[in-house]
Structure 1
């Protein structure tokens, strides 16, 4: 899911231009696009270079056709006319074939680059819980989903369109400089070169602000798209409020912000386009000026009229094409600015993902490290069995197999916040001892699960995990795209799981979802719907329990996982957890869940906590 736009950037917007930052970012992307000398993209680029050079040979011969027509028509040479016409048709067909082949190879490069960059981003994005930190905790970049799905696509598409002209430009410019010098002297190529340098300097100043606004436009596009996605995902909730008017206003605000940036962009593109088009047409006039010098100097007076016309036509083509080679580079300015803006966005995302991967913990240096320990009695003093006291690590090796995790003096709070939710928490989750976490809303119950799971870093203390993993059922169950079987075995892949259809049917019967199999058409029936749209909150929680029973872990953390389920079914689910030897640590508000637990961990939301046993007589009363 997208993260809302408007997040702070790691780089100031003034750096989004053609500078050393852009070069570093693009070089990193370039290395990913060309991973080896003999990679597919390297070989395709070499093939594209050869095709482009061959095309230039064909273009050169096509350019000489008019001068040949001047000769055969001037001499009334019928055979020469026929031969020249056949040659012209074949060259034109060859040029059409070359252009389409070059476009095809460029398109293959585009999709291959997109695959390479996107896979590389996915490798960083889905590494451990980086995607969670980027979307929920860090928010250093706006709309990471848009950068991965759209900005990479735009970058690769733009680069595929400009790579061929950039590759062949040194070769074509060098060749036509020599040809122009032979026909007009060095006045022609020197004047063309100076003209190109001047146009390039002007365009450099005009391109930098365009890059910055391309970056901003992509950001606003992501914000606008996210708003529409937010309405789509939460359409029913919004409809209950009849919130069409207010949401229309908020969505239009996103649109107006986007349009405002687009107006700024097109104003700056106007100046750039004016410079580009002026260079194109002034260049064509410059070609005639260069040709006029030897003509007025009577250098061609010794030739016949037909020969002089043919020579003038040839020199005109050479000079004009030399200017065209330069102006093509100038014409690429618009595409280069789009590519640069997207390269900044993709490169910045790589930088943030790398930083998050390297980060070991949150920075809580603003808190006082000498926070006094809680005076409350730790779990080791009040556990159900006095033999379960904390022991030294050297003496506790055998019990590690029965312990999922141990918290020692853990203090935690929301990331990047000075708020303390719980201070100096001590307890361990042992096999057979079910723990109920209670407290008012916002006191830190779900936050405790985040700390235990590693989603949040603790401010002080340590969370030591045993050899047995804890299976988590969050408040809002997560369902991926795919079949019903894929939902049940998640997070395993189909090829990693054991075919246990009877067990799946049994657990679906227990939670009352056997009808879901008939509704879909089977465990492996392909579905293209959104599971969140098709299942009610209660059905989602029940299906999450089917997933839990299928995996049958030794320990499970249930974050209000029965809040949308009736009391009778809730009792069956907890009873089955006991039969499957699943030790649970639950967050719950309803009294009905107390009887399934042995210990109560109560959080007061102000840093205090207390662990007390849940007595059997209280359970039975």
Structure 2
């Protein structure tokens, strides 16, 4: 596209030059009253104008296509960094130096590419036009013409540089406030019902208007600074038109063209004026781009700042992953006794603090989470229950100690069910199989039957009719349609669907490799089409108060189903009735203190329950 744009722009400049010298030829044919020459010249002029219009249209078309491709490439590149590991989580939760990452990716990239594409044609052709018309100007006016025009451009560039500097920083501030203002409206949209229960319309109106006023104040300041830049640009544009005639007047008044007739002199002045004016116009276009360049510079700063942060977080995540793999290898090759095969996590003297404040939550915790030994985490608010799950999930880092992950995260190994479930856009099937990317049915409607069965087990039979089927693309927001209890029921239906099955030892090893390579869908397909299922491999489920919106009876039924499906649970909860579904209770007292006790209630479960 770039080379095509260059070719089209060069052809356009050749045609423009021919169109530009036509007025001088009109002076000649009209001055000589040459009617035949007038008709021929008019036909040529009309043809050149049509060709020029076509080339200009193609020029704009190619620039627009370049804008789309630039935006696609840059946005997908940022997405690849943004969604790597848990970088997006760290950026939104643990980092405060990057404001509105979503706006930078969605809006700033769009504006950056749009503005850059609008300059592309002028920047591509400028070196060629400047060289050619400098030569033509020198041929017409001598050395004085090009030197005067170049000096004029240098002065204009220096003045605009001084006027542009304060605009860039102010533009960056404006974009930040734009993002804050948009985020406030999004906050109201997401939390419309709680705000309405609080009767918070007046206070939110005041807060939203406050953000608007801050934004408009910055925009006024930006417009004030841009005023002086526009004055400079327009002044140099109009002075340039006078300068062209001054350059031509010097050889005329010095007698260089004293032997020409008035008609010939008019034609010469017209031709030379076009050359000089066009050369000045080329420089003026570059000066006119000052306002666009300031916008591009502002967006470049914001996008570049985001890119640097994403790459930094990505390298940090990759380093942590390498360390985790090294720990895994040590289990197999070091002199220490390897952890048992059924172990999911091994915590050794782990100390945990809040990243932002450094508040001590847990100190010297040693714990082995293994198959069949479900753990319930209890404690008062702020003692670190969810924080411990964040460390297990790799979202936070422990202050001291080591945490070894001996199974894989994701659909085939460990699944976390947060207190507030996450639902993506799409059909009901996509909500159940999430986070699998694709569906690999056993045969025909076998996968549909599994999903329907798990929806029934979770008590969501009517949801299938409300959604219009498993694959009906709905345009609603699932958070607006489902009640809190239904959200948590649907999360358990998802959990039931993701249970893993393995055929044999070799197949199991191959599946684990595929999991670590991130191809969960392929792993799932191999699970389903494997021959001769030998049994169930433990599936670890981490529940962060995932049943807080359910009744105790429904909660018990869901927990019983999880245990019957062979899952090992790590639960955060407050209800004592949940203790019978767990083997161990980890009680957090705060300030680093904790207590691990064996739960005797599980032994007294009725036969067939909880196994």
- When the two structures are superposed, what TM-score results if normalisation uses the length of structure 2? 0.87
**For 1:198-255, what per-residue CA distance to the aligned partner results, in whole angstroms no more than 9, with x for missing partners?**
0001111111111111111111111110000010111111111110111011111111
2:204 and 2:403 map into 1 onto residues whose CA distance is 43
SS in 1 for 2:341: helix
Q: Which residue, 329, 336, 341 being the options, matches 2:298?
A: 341
Aligned to 2:572: 587
Q: Which residue, 268, 283, 289 being the options, matches 2:240?
A: 283
CA change 1:100–1:391 in 2 (3 A) is: closer
Q: Number of residue pairs matched? A: 551
1:176 equivalent in alignment to 2:133: yes
2:287 and 2:209 map into 1 onto residues whose CA distance is 37
1:113 equivalent in alignment to 2:98: no
**For 1:471-508, what per-residue CA distance to the aligned partner results, in whole angstroms no more than 9, with x for missing partners?**
11011111111111111111111246766211111111
Aligned to 2:397: 457
1:487 equivalent in alignment to 2:444: no
The CA deviation at 1:298 is 2.4
Aligned to 1:145: 102
Which deviates further from its counterpart, 327-336 or 473-482?
473-482
The CA deviation at 1:436 is 0.9
The CA deviation at 1:416 is 3.2
Q: Which residue, 558, 575, 578 being the options, matches 2:560?
A: 575
Q: 1:411-430 maps to which residues of 2 (within 5 A)?
A: 411-430=351-370
Aligned to 2:51: 94
**For 1:81-112, what per-residue CA distance to the aligned partner results, in whole angstroms no more than 9, with x for missing partners?**
11111111111111111111000000000110
Aligned to 1:543: 490
Contact residue 583 and residue 602 of structure 2 kept, 8 A: no
Contact residue 402 and residue 430 of structure 1 kept, 8 A: yes
2:355 and 2:102 map into 1 onto residues whose CA distance is 22
**For 1:536-587, what per-residue CA distance to the aligned partner results, in whole angstroms no more than 9, with x for missing partners?**
1111100000010111251111111111111111111111111101011111
**For 1:336-391, what per-residue CA distance to the aligned partner results, in whole angstroms no more than 9, with x for missing partners?**
1101110111111110111112226999xxxxxxxxxxxxxxxxxxxxxxxxxx99
2:126 and 2:267 map into 1 onto residues whose CA distance is 27
2:119 and 2:353 map into 1 onto residues whose CA distance is 50
Aligned to 1:558: 543
Q: Which residue, 179, 191, 206 being the options, matches 1:222?
A: 179
Contact residue 587 and residue 594 of structure 2 kept, 8 A: yes
Which deviates further from its counterpart, 587-596 or 142-151?
587-596
Contact residue 555 and residue 582 of structure 1 kept, 8 A: yes
1:411 and 1:143 map into 2 onto residues whose CA distance is 32
1:341 and 1:467 map into 2 onto residues whose CA distance is 45
Aligned to 1:444: 384
1:612 equivalent in alignment to 2:597: yes
**For 1:576-620, what per-residue CA distance to the aligned partner results, in whole angstroms no more than 9, with x for missing partners?**
111101011111111221221121110001210001112239967
- When the two structures are superposed, what TM-score results if normalisation uses the length of structure 1? 0.86
Alignment root-mean-square deviation, CA: 2.0
Contact residue 436 and residue 586 of structure 1 kept, 8 A: yes
Q: Which residue, 165, 182, 192 being the options, matches 2:149?
A: 192
1:51 equivalent in alignment to 2:8: yes
1:477 equivalent in alignment to 2:421: yes
Q: Which residue, 124, 134, 137 being the options, matches 2:81?
A: 124
Q: 1:20-419 maps to which residues of 2 (within 5 A)?
A: 44-359=1-316, 397=338, 400-419=340-359
The CA deviation at 1:67 is 0.8
1:517 equivalent in alignment to 2:461: no
SS in 2 for 1:421: strand
